[in-house]
Amino acid sequence: MDEGFRVTPWEVSGRVDYDRLIQEFGTSKIDSCLKERLQKNFGELHQYLRRDIFFSHRDLDIILTDFEEGKKFYLYTGRGPSGHTHLGHILPWIFTRYIQEKTGSVLLFQLTDDEKFYFKEEMTLEDTRKMAYENILDIIALGFQPDKTRIFLDTEYIKTLYPVAAKVAKKITFSTVKAVFGLENSNNIGEIFYTSLQSTPAFLPSVFEGRDTHVLIPCGIDQDPHFRVCRDVAPKLGYPKPALVHCKLFPSLMGAETKMSASLPETSIFTTDAPKVAKKKIMNAFTGGAVSVEEQRKHGGNPDVCSVFAYYQFMFEPDDAKLGERSTACRAGNVLCGECKQVLAERVIEFLKAHQEKREKARAILEKFVVRD
C-alpha cells in the first residue's frame, strides 16, 4: 500500500481510503442489501451501520443465515492491553454488545497481555496484565451480559488456548508471517508466534460445542490481517472460517483523517480522563474551521476534515437529522468551532461521568466475567 496510507495491526498512518482497503484486503462492503437484512433481523439498524462506520465484512451473510435458522453462533473480540482504554477502542465493543443484545450470543473477549508484552519494548508482563484488568472494567461497564460473556487474559487461560494455538502455529510458516505482518528476522519469536493465539478463540466455540460452530468477530479493519491468516488455516484444521465485521478507525483530535493513538495521549479521550482533562483536549482539537471568524462566517467550515465533527458522527450525535443539520450549519458558516466544541465537551463529559461510575461498580462483579484455567 503506497497511496499515502498504511493499515497494519501495528501501524495506521495517513488518510485511510476505506474503499481501497476493501479491495486490497479482499473483504466485502456492507451494502444496502445486507443492511436491509440486518434491519429485518434486528429490528433496528445500529447507528454504526447507518453511517458506514461498520463498513466491511467477511461472511456476515452466513452468520445472518444462522440467526434466521435459529442456529447459535459465538461472538469474539479482543483488546491488546497496552494502556488505558480510549474512545476508539470501545467503538467495536459497543457494536459487539449490540449484536449480543439482539442475538443472545456468547462472547469470548480476549485480552492479549502476551501480545503487548512481546511488542512493547518498555512493558513488562506485569504491566500488561495490570492494564488488562483496567481494560476489563471498561468492557464490563459497557453492559455485556455476565452469563454470556467470558473475558480472559492469554496468560491466564493458556491451558485452554494452547492445544488449539499449537495446531494453528503448525500450519503457519515464517514466510507467511513475514509477508502478512512485515515481521523480520530481528523480531522476537514471541511476535512471530503471536498470531496463532489471536486465531485460537475463533476456533474455541467449535471445541466447546463439539461441532462446527460459527463465530462473528467485530473488530477494527486494522486487525483483518490476523484473521486472513486465521481463515486460511481454518479448513486445514477442520474448523469453519470465522466471519468478520470491520469498523473504521476512530479519528484522533488531530483531525478526522488520523487515528486515535494511545501513544499520543493529548489527542485521544481516555475513559479514565477527568472531565476537565477531556474538556481541555476537546477545546484544543483540530477542526475544519477557517483562519478567522470573519472568514468562517463568510465561507463556512469543513466538517469532512474536522475531528470535532467526527466525534459527533462516531459517537456523540445519535440523531442522523441533527448530525446533518450540524454539518449544514458548519458549511454555511452559521456555527463556529468554539460553540461546536463546547457542546461536544458537555456530551463527552456526560458520557465519561456515567461510564466512570459503571466502571467503578464493575470491580465488584469482575469475577463473574473473567475465566481462567
- Binding of ligand TRP by 77 (CB under 6 A): yes
Rounded Cα distance, 28 and 22, in Å: 6
Choose which of 100, 103, 110, 135 interacts with ligand TRP (CB under 6 A): 110
Site string for ligand TRP, 173-212 (x = CB under 6 A): -------------------------x--------------
| Joined grid coordinates for residue 358 | 459503571
Rounded Cα distance, 132 and 267, in Å: 22
Rounded Cα distance, 90 and 104, in Å: 20
Among candidate residues 288, 223, 208, the one with its CA nearest the CA of residue 77: 223
Burial track 134-158 (b if 16+ CB lie within 10 A, e otherwise): bbbbbbbbbebeeeebbbbbbbbbb
Nearer to ligand TRP, 131 or 290 (CB): 131
Nearer to ligand TRP, 137 or 337 (CB): 137
Q: Quickly tell me which residue has 462483579 as its cell.
A: 365
Give the residue closest to ligand TRP by C-beta: 78
Rounded Cα distance, 144 and 107, in Å: 9
Count of residues that bind ligand TRP according to CB under 6 A: 12
Among candidate residues 337, 255, 251, the one with its CA nearest the CA of residue 291: 337
- Binding of ligand TRP by 115 (CB under 6 A): yes
- Beta carbon of residue 226, minimum distance to ligand TRP (angstroms, whole number): 7
Among candidate residues 296, 179, 293, the one with its CA nearest the CA of residue 229: 179
Choose which of 12, 161, 217, 278 interacts with ligand TRP (CB under 6 A): 217
- Binding of ligand TRP by 244 (CB under 6 A): no
- Binding of ligand TRP by 223 (CB under 6 A): yes
Nearer to ligand TRP, 180 or 343 (CB): 180
- Binding of ligand TRP by 246 (CB under 6 A): no
Q: Are strands 251-252 and 243-247 parallel, antiparallel or unpaired?
A: unpaired
Q: Which stretch binds ligand TRP (CB under 6 A): 51-59, 75-83, 181-189, 231-239?
A: 75-83
Nearer to ligand TRP, 260 or 306 (CB): 260
- Binding of ligand TRP by 282 (CB under 6 A): no
Nearer to ligand TRP, 27 or 198 (CB): 198
- Beta carbon of residue 183, minimum distance to ligand TRP (angstroms, whole number): 14
Q: Which stretch binds ligand TRP (CB under 6 A): 74-82, 270-278, 300-308, 334-342?
A: 74-82
Strands of the chain (E only): list them.
5-7, 12-14, 28-29, 54-58, 74-79, 107-111, 149-153, 215-220, 243-247, 251-252, 255-259
CB neighbours of residue 85 within 10 Å: 26
Judged by phi (left if over 0) then psi (alpha if -120 to 50, else beta), residue 4 lies in: left
| Joined grid coordinates for residue 338 | 468554539
- Binding of ligand TRP by 100 (CB under 6 A): no
Q: Which stretch binds ligand TRP (CB under 6 A): 72-80, 158-166, 272-280, 285-293?
A: 72-80
- Binding of ligand TRP by 79 (CB under 6 A): yes
By CB under 6 A, name the binding residues for ligand TRP.
Answer: 9, 77-80, 110, 112, 115, 198, 217, 219, 223
